Structure 1
Amino acid sequence: MKKIATALLSVWLLATAATLQSCDNDDDDYYIYPYARPTAIVTVKPNADNSSFYLQVDDSTTFIPTNMKVSPFGNKEVRALVNCTPTENPTAHQGQTVTINWIDSILTKPTVANLAEKNDSAYGNDPVEIVNSFETVAEDGYLTLRFRTRWASGRPHRVNLVHRTDVNTPYLLQFYHDAAPESAAGPVADGLVAFRLDSTFNEPDTTINITLQWNSYSGTKTHTFKYKPRKD
C-alpha cells in the first residue's frame, strides 16, 4: 500500500504529502485526479470487535462502505480523510452507501489538562495560523483543525488543545503549539489534527458556541464554532 509521506508529529502535512494509503488495493499505482483529493473528513466508527464500521460525515450524515468490511485502523475511533464515490447498492442501514477509493487517518488525540498560568511553559506558545477550510470544523465530538506554520526538518512539533475552565468565557478552547527555534526560518506547510472534546461539551441538548483561541503570527486570535453536542 502507498503511504502518505511521513510528516512531523505524524500530522497530515498537506503541503508536502505525495501519496495516500489505498485500502482497496495493494498495487503501486498512484491515484490521479479526481481521486487525489479527499471528498470528506469523517469519523471512522468501528464496532467493538471491528467486524464492521461506518463513517460519520457530519451530525446527520453517515456513509456505509461497500468495498471494505473492517476498519483499516482496528477498533479505534479516529478522524480521517477519505475519497469515496456513492454507490447505487441498496442497504438495510441508514446512510449513503459508498465505495472507498482511499482513506487515511489523521492525528486524533484528547484535550490535555488545564494548567492555567503554566500552560504556555508546558505546551508551548509558538505562533501558528488556523486555516479556514473544510477540514477546520467542530462536529461529532471533535474539533478538527488545519493549521499553518513554519517547519524545521527533523524536529517534531507538538500541538495540544486545552479547555480553559479558569476563564469567564464558556467553552473556551486554547490551541498550543511547540516548535523548534530553527522553525522560524523553515518552509511554510499545513498540518491536520483532531481533538476529542471532553464530556462537558456534549452535556447540553442544544447547539453551543465554542470559542477557539490561539497565538498567531499577528497576535492572539479567536474564532467561534457552532457545535451540536454529540449523543451516542
Structure 2
Amino acid sequence: MKKSTLLLTAGLLFGSLFLPSCLNDDDDVNRLYPNALVTVKHAGDKTVFLQLDDKTTLLPVNLTTSPFGEKEVRALVNYKEVDIPSSGYDQAVHVSWIDSIRTKGMVPNLGDENDQKYGNDPVEIVRDWVTIAEDGYLTLRFRTEWGYPRVVHYVNLFSTNNPENPYEVEFRHNANGDIGGRLGDGLVAFRLDSLPDTQGETVKLKLKWRSFSGEKSAEFDYKTRAATPASPAIAAERSVIPLQ
C-alpha cells in the first residue's frame, strides 16, 4: 500500500534504518515520512524484495541483505523509484530508510479463557492508510492509553470460530494494568495464514474489537496471498512502543 504522506504520532518511528542516499537536498523533508507499507521478503535465490501490495514487487537496489535477517516482516519504508533494471520485479527502488512493524501470527481462540489469556482492555482501531488487509496480513493502527513509565502492552488476534463466517476475527488488547494515561498510537501486523484459503477469491474479513465506547467491527477486502518461494518463517520484530 503506497501513500505519499503520513502525519506521525510522536515516537511512532524510532531507530529507523537510514541508508546512504544520493538524493538531492530537495528530497530531504520528504524522506522523513514513510511513503509505503510493505512486506520484506526473500526470493528463492535469497534476493531481498519488497511486496508493495497483493501484486506489486519492488527490488531495493541498495539492500543486498535484509536489515531484519531472514525474518519476514511488515515495515514502513521511504523509497524512490530508480531507472535501472529491476531483474524481473515490477520496479527498482532506492530505499532511504525502513522500519519494521511488530509482526506476529494469530493465536488460538480459547473460548471462556480468552479474557484471562489475552485481556479485554479497550482500544480504538484508527481508520488510516496503514490499517489494511493485504499480502496475507492484517495491519492495524490502534489507539489506546499509555502511562509513564510505559509497560508492555499485549495485542493479539484470533478467529471467532463463527460457523457462519470463517473470516471473522477479534482483536484483543491487554494493557497489563497500564490504563488512564495519554492516548497514543501503535502499529501491529498479523499473519492470516491460519484462516481458510479463499481459493483466489476476495472475501470480506470482519474485524471485531472492544472500543472505549463499546463493541465495534469493520470489514476489509481479503484474499489469501500467493505463496512466496522459499518464504522464511514469520518471526516477531521490534516495535518502538512496549508491545507484545
Range that drifts further, 83-92 or 102-111: 83-92
Match of 1:212 in 2: 207
Deviation, 1:19, is: 4.1
Deviation, 1:166, is: 4.7
Which is bigger in relative contact order (C-alpha 8 A, separation at least 6)?
A: 2
Identical columns (%): 46
Alignment map for 1:64-213 (pairs within 5 Å): 64-152=59-147, 153-166=149-162, 168-184=164-180, 186-213=181-208
The TM-score normalised by the length of structure 2 is: 0.81
CA contact (8 A) 2:106 2:194 kept: no
What code does the residue aligned with 1:60 have? Answer: K
Secondary structure at the residue paired with 1:165? Answer: coil
Deviation, 1:167, is: 5.2
- The one-character-per-residue Cα deviations of 1:94-118 (angstroms, maximum 9, x if unpaired) are 3111000000111100000111122
What code does the residue aligned with 1:41 have? Answer: L
Quick one: structure 1 residues 137 and 201, their matched pair in 2 at CA, closer, same or farther if it must change by over 3 Å? farther
CA contact (8 A) 1:23 1:72 kept: no
Deviation, 1:76, is: 1.0
Match of 2:38 in 1: 42
- Aligned length in residues: 214
What code does the residue aligned with 1:204 have? Answer: Q
Quote the Cα distance in structure 2 between the aligned partners of 1:135 and 1:182: 25
Secondary structure at the residue paired with 2:49? Answer: strand
Match of 2:10 in 1: 15
Deviation, 1:156, is: 0.6
Deviation, 1:54, is: 0.4
Quote the Cα distance in structure 2 between the aligned partners of 1:113 and 1:136: 23
Secondary structure at the residue paired with 1:161? Answer: strand
Q: CA RMSD in A?
A: 2.1
- The one-character-per-residue Cα deviations of 1:195-217 (angstroms, maximum 9, x if unpaired) are 01124343422101100000000
Match of 1:229 in 2: 224
Secondary structure at the residue paired with 1:202? Answer: coil
Gaps of 5+ in 2: 1-7, 22-26, 228-244
CA contact (8 A) 2:159 2:169 kept: yes
CA contact (8 A) 1:160 1:175 kept: yes
CA contact (8 A) 2:166 2:195 kept: no
Quick one: structure 1 residues 71 and 18, their matched pair in 2 at CA, closer, same or farther if it must change by over 3 Å? closer
CA contact (8 A) 1:47 1:75 kept: no
CA contact (8 A) 1:151 1:189 kept: yes
Quick one: structure 1 residues 134 and 157, their matched pair in 2 at CA, closer, same or farther if it must change by over 3 Å? same
Range that drifts further, 197-206 or 210-219: 197-206
Secondary structure at the residue paired with 1:117? Answer: helix
What code does the residue aligned with 1:136 have? Answer: T
